[in-house]
């Protein structure tokens, strides 16, 4: 049985000969060479090249594999997935966001399209005696007894996304939205940029392992730079990033080729070198030292709320932090819990898919652990999750 490559070689000889023979019967058939010759040329290019085995084994026809692969996402979205099966965001929710953003009709007849009897289906229980909302702008106080500048935070806020991962326009849009909506905007570990400050929205400054914006020339924490930036009026809280759900226990790197002068100035890093975020912090290496670092940041910032963010991995390590709270009498003002399903701009696939506790299990564990050591009433638990605000246009 001949292979596809052998069939192609035979075709490349026979097809031109047959077309030339037909020219004696019907001369316009010569135009068929305009189709056949490019196919033959592309086919022999495929036979000669050694980069793609599919094209080498299936000359010309193998190219269709890559064409279909290029539009696979569009085929999946428009012809395969249902209104409820798309991931990470189902079409049902995407369409509702688009409709309300454009002021279009957003109602549906005949009831829900969700399977309400499937395992894991979630709903909200209503009351038979609904009341009119009186407090339209609820606030939660962040900051314990050691906090000189507690922050009255919104229940819903913008989670960490760095400038560099997002464009300057995206950062400014998020911060302007925070200003309009009266909620906070987390900087991400990429430091505090001018675009975070332009519109005056409340800021949660995240300090990662690279200490961007508050580091010395060796990449270690610099208290003077931290104090200078953290005492800005718009900076309301400080968050120490221990790990994130998308790649817990994994650092990051910005190649020197992608480092701009602007980002280098914002992050206080030298040009011409890779920008490395180590897997762990250099300012502390134990639960006790972590809490002492919390106190240092609180003092340097002028008494602003300080907490930390983590994705739960080994549970005994978080219990060690709880034990250190009892020993040192130092408490963070909040703990942000990220789930293993969290996303980021760049993360190894294995870590995204298989490392870190999912948010629901992690949050339940953290809540129970803090209750167990008797400090839950003094520490707020935040969680990172996707939320769709189905609202209309701003007027």
pLDDT at 87: 79
pLDDT at 331: 96
pLDDT at 108: 83
Give the other-Cβ count within 10 Å of 255's Cβ: 9
DSSP 285-340: -SHHHHHHHHHHHHHHTTS--EEEEEE---HHHHHHHHHHHHHH----SEEEEE-T
Alpha carbon 271 to its chain centroid, in Å, reads 26
Whether 32 is covered by a domain: the verdict is: yes
Same domain, 30 and 79: no
Whether 394 is covered by a domain: the verdict is: no
Same domain, 221 and 360: yes
Whether 28 is covered by a domain: the verdict is: yes
pLDDT at 354: 85
Whether 80 is covered by a domain: the verdict is: yes
- By residue range, what is the domain housing residue 87? 72-101
Q: β-strand 334-338 against 380-383: which pairing, if any?
A: parallel
SS3 152: strand
Q: Please tell me the total count of domains within the chain.
A: 3
pLDDT at 349: 80
Give me 212's structure tokens. Answer: 């961007």
Same domain, 94 and 159: no
Same domain, 197 and 63: no
Question: How does DSSP classify residue 380?
Answer: E
Give me 50's structure tokens. Answer: 């050694």
Same domain, 89 and 152: no
Same domain, 320 and 356: yes
Give me 259's structure tokens. Answer: 């480092």
User: One digit per residue, pLDDT tens: the chain, 395 residues?
Assistant: 789 999 999 999 999 999 999 998 898 999 999 999 999 999 999 999 999 999 999 999 999 999 999 999 899 888 888 888 887 788 888 888 888 888 888 888 888 989 999 998 989 999 999 988 888 889 999 998 889 999 999 998 998 889 988 899 999 999 999 999 999 999 999 999 999 999 999 999 999 999 999 999 889 999 999 999 999 999 999 999 999 887 887 877 888 888 889 999 999 999 988 888 899 999 999 999 999 999 999 999 999 999 999 999 999 999 999 999 999 999 999 999 998 887 776 777 888 888 889 999 999 999 999 999 999 999 999 877 666 554 444 43
- Rounded Cα–Cα distance for residues 240 and 66 (Å): 44
Same domain, 376 and 272: yes
Give me 26's structure tokens. Answer: 């019907």
pLDDT at 292: 97
Last residue of a domain, one of 47, 70, 93: 70
Same domain, 91 and 28: no
Q: pTM of the prediction?
A: 0.83
**Domain of residue 296, CATH code:** 3.20.20.70
Same domain, 41 and 90: no
**Residue 219 zone, left/alpha/beta (φ > 0; ψ -120 to 50; rest):** left
Same domain, 84 and 66: no
Same domain, 79 and 225: no
Whether 393 is covered by a domain: the verdict is: no
Whether 11 is covered by a domain: the verdict is: yes
Q: Contact, 163 vs 193, CB < 8 A?
A: yes
Same domain, 169 and 25: no
Per DSSP (E only), the strands in the chain are 140-142, 151-153, 184-186, 202-207, 235-241, 252-254, 275-277, 306-311, 334-338, 380-383
């Amino acid at each position: 049985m001949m292979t596809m490559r052998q069939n192609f070689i035979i075709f490349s000889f026979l097809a031109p000969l047959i077309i030339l023979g037909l020219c004696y019967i019907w001369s316009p058939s010569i135009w068929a060479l305009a189709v056949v010759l490019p196919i033959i040329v592309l086919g022999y290019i495929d036979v000669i090249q050694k980069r793609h085995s599919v094209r080498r084994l299936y000359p010309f026809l193998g190219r269709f594999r890559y064409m279909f692969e290029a539009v696979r996402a569009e085929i999946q979205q428009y012809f395969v997935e249902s209104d409820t099966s798309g991931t990470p965001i189902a079409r049902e929710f995407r369409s509702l966001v688009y409709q309300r953003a454009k002021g279009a009709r957003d109602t549906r007849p005949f009831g829900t399209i969700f399977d309400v009897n499937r395992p894991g289906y979630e709903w909200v229980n209503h009351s038979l005696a609904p009341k009119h909302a009186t407090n339209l702008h609820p606030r939660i106080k962040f900051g314990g007894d050691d906090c000189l500048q507690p922050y009255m935070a919104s229940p819903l806020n913008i989670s960490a996304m760095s400038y560099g991962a997002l464009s300057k326009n995206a950062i400014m849009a998020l911060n302007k939205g925070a200003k309009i909506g009266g909620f906070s905007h987390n900087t991400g570990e990429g430091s505090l940029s001018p675009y975070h400050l332009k519109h005056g929205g409340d800021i949660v400054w995240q300090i990662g392992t690279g200490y961007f914006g508050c580091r010395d020339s060796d990449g270690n924490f610099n208290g003077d730079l931290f104090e200078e930036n953290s005492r800005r009026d718009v900076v309301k809280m400080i968050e120490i990033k221990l790990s994130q759900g998308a790649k817990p226990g994994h650092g990051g790197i910005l190649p020197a080729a992608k480092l701009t002068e602007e980002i280098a100035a914002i992050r206080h890093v030298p040009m011409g070198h890779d920008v490395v975020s180590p897997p762990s912090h250099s300012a502390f290496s134990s639960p006790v030292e972590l809490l002492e670092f919390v106190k240092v940041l609180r003092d340097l910032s002028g008494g602003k709320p300080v907490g930390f963010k983590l994705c739960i991995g080994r549970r005994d390590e978080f219990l060690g932090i709880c034990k250190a709270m009892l020993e040192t009498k130092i408490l963070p003002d909040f703990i942000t819990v990220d789930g293993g399903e969290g996303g980021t701009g760049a993360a190894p696939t294995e870590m995204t898919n298989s490392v870190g506790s999912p948010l629901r299990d992690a949050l339940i564990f953290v809540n129970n652990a803090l209750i167990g050591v008797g400090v839950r009433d003094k520490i707020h638990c935040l969680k990172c999750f996707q939320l769709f605000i189905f609202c209309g246009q701003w007027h």
